[in-house]
């Protein structure tokens, strides 16, 4: 069995307005002895973020989990106000061996709203049942048009990954070496959409090339039962409590789901973490 947690950590800023990455990792460990941790809103050299010292959180999180392979997914990379580069994005940490890591810049359409570049980060992890593609993302908050374009980008990534998994490719030396891949995948993240959003439902549309559909793991287990809230549970400046953090699995993995759970206790971020357990 493998356990995956996804969490928008808001750069470690808790409901008490204190940034504490160790507290956050401790809370994740209390939820489950996770094999893979998918994070969104990890920052580096952004002292202007509330409560932040401006440290390199990609490195800090990696230091807190020394037995895990840390994969960075930088979506925003700009000059820092005090020099250097300021970076913001996603992260995957895996206790399982990681074969290939891939980073996909999602479509960034023009929009008048406040917005920024977004990324899909993928790590192929080696499970007891074979390779598994684990992906994490954080979609645009301010614009449904941008989210729809980004969903299209995610679906294109999955479509082409499936094609690579079923197509023989010549092996080669060095940069051309083949690495394990799979049509089976887990997609996690903060999608900034509610469960009934038509754009969110598009993620699970069938593919015309035979790629396995991406199913909402909560719905695969609980049917029409409402998703627990994952945002604004303890602070409502962004609206009443609602769910916008999801885990999707390819349809072949749905029968392997042992558990999907939304933690409702931790206050280490403004989002709640989500756990999935898979029999692998």
Task: Taking residues 29-47, report their average pLDDT.
Answer: 98
- Model pLDDT, residue 194: 97
- Model pLDDT, residue 196: 96
Q: Any idea of the CA torsion for 230, 234, 240, 246, to the nearest 10 degrees?
A: -10
Q: Rounded to whole angstroms, what are the CA distances from 146 to 20, 139, 153, 244?
A: 31, 8, 11, 16
Task: For residues 109 and 94, give the distance between their C-alpha atoms in angstroms, rounded to a whole number.
Answer: 32
Task: For residues 229 and 239, give the distance between their C-alpha atoms in angstroms, rounded to a whole number.
Answer: 12
Q: What is the pLDDT of residues 195-245, one digit of tens each?
A: 999 999 999 999 999 999 999 999 999 999 999 999 999 999 888 999 999
Q: What percent of the chain has pLDDT over 90?
A: 96
- Residue 202: which of 275, 139, 255, 160 has the closest Cα? 139
Task: Taking residues 123-148, report their average pLDDT.
Answer: 97
Instruction: Please count the helices (runs of H) and the strands (runs of E) in the chain.
Output: 5, 12
Does the global pTM surpass 0.95?
yes
- Model pLDDT, residue 127: 96
- Model pLDDT, residue 168: 87
Structural domains of the chain, with CATH:
2-278 (3.60.10.10)
Q: What is the pLDDT of residues 55-96, one digit of tens each?
A: 999 999 999 999 999 999 999 999 999 899 999 999 999 999
- Model pLDDT, residue 73: 98
Q: What average pLDDT is seen over the chain?
A: 96
Using the predicted structure, report yes or no on whether residue 169 has a pLDDT greater than 90.
Answer: no
Task: Taking residues 245-270, report their average pLDDT.
Answer: 98
Q: What is the pLDDT of residues 56-66, one digit of tens each?
A: 999 999 999 99
- Model pLDDT, residue 151: 98
């Amino acid at each position: 069995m493998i356990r995956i947690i996804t969490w928008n950590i808001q750069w470690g800023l808790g409901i008490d307005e204190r940034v504490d990455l160790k507290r956050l990792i401790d809370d994740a460990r209390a939820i489950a002895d996770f094999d893979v941790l998918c994070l969104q809103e990890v920052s580096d050299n952004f002292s202007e973020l509330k409560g932040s010292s401006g440290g390199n959180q990609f490195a800090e999180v990696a230091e807190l989990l020394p037995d895990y392979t840390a994969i960075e997914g930088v979506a925003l990379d700009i000059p820092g106000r005090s020099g250097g580069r300021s970076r913001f994005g996603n992260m995957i940490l895996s206790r399982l061996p990681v074969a290939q890591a891939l980073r996909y810049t999602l479509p960034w359409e023009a929009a008048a709203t406040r917005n920024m570049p977004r990324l899909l980060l993928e790590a192929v992890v080696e499970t007891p049942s074979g390779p598994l593609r684990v992906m994490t993302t954080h979609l645009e908050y301010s614009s449904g048009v941008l989210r729809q374009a980004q969903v299209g980008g995610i679906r294109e990534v999955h479509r082409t990954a499936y094609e690579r998994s079923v197509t023989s490719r010549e092996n080669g030396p060095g940069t051309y070496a083949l690495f394990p891949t799979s049509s089976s995948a887990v997609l996690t993240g903060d999608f900034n959409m509610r469960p009934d959003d038509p754009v969110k439902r598009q993620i699970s549309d069938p593919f015309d090339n035979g790629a396995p559909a991406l199913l909402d793991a909560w719905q695969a287990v609980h049917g029409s039962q409402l998703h627990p809230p994952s945002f604004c549970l303890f602070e409502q400046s962004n609206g009443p409590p609602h769910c916008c953090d999801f885990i999707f699995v390819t349809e072949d993995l749905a029968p392997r789901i042992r558990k999907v759970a939304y933690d409702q206790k931790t206050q280490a971020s403004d989002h709640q973490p989500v756990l999935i357990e898979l029999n692998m």
